[in-house]
Structure 1
Amino acid sequence: MYELSIDERMEELVGQFVVVTKSRKDGQLLFYIDKKLRGTITSKWWSIFVENAKGFASLEDAIKLAKSLKYNNPNVYKVVDPNYDHDYDIKRAF
């Protein structure tokens, strides 16, 4: 079981790359879910919460996954250091 608090998970993601797409329904950003979390959270592949995202240390690995996905034009973003209000910023990397 993969148990980290939201703060610990965000600290783990800072500086890493995540695969992001926009929802077809409402245009909201969706993050590709980490497989270690998928079984405990949901059986779906995408989440609106960045702390559930799969982090990639290398840009190339994230791009490889994004290119393998067929729908919704996924992109790669880099997670930038969150502030104290648990907000985060992501910068488009690809």
Structure 2
Amino acid sequence: MDVFSDLIRGVRAHGSLFGSTTLSPPWALHFVDGAPLTLCTVIDGAGWLVPEGRPPELLRARETIVVRGPGTFTFVDEVGTTAEPIACGEDCATPEQGG
């Protein structure tokens, strides 16, 4: 098996959340929930992952990145975008809470 398959198989899905967002530039998503793992995939176009204290990483169409938490990070259309960040994870509910 490849490394990605091993990673996904080892993650327990209890309490996991799924979200999908379709945006037009300029856009910025700020992930603040401190999740142990976050999976980001770009379907079309490109985006930049900007983790706190690390250099930005470009993500092109059909590329996926796994971000290890619990630190926060921002996913943007362009580094230095003028978009107001949308906070992701502030109002999430667990399955037990109806989320």
Q: TM-score under structure 2 normalisation?
A: 0.27
Q: Answer 1 or 2: which has greater helix percent.
A: 1
Q: Answer 1 or 2: which has greater strand percent.
A: 2
Q: TM-score under structure 1 normalisation?
A: 0.27
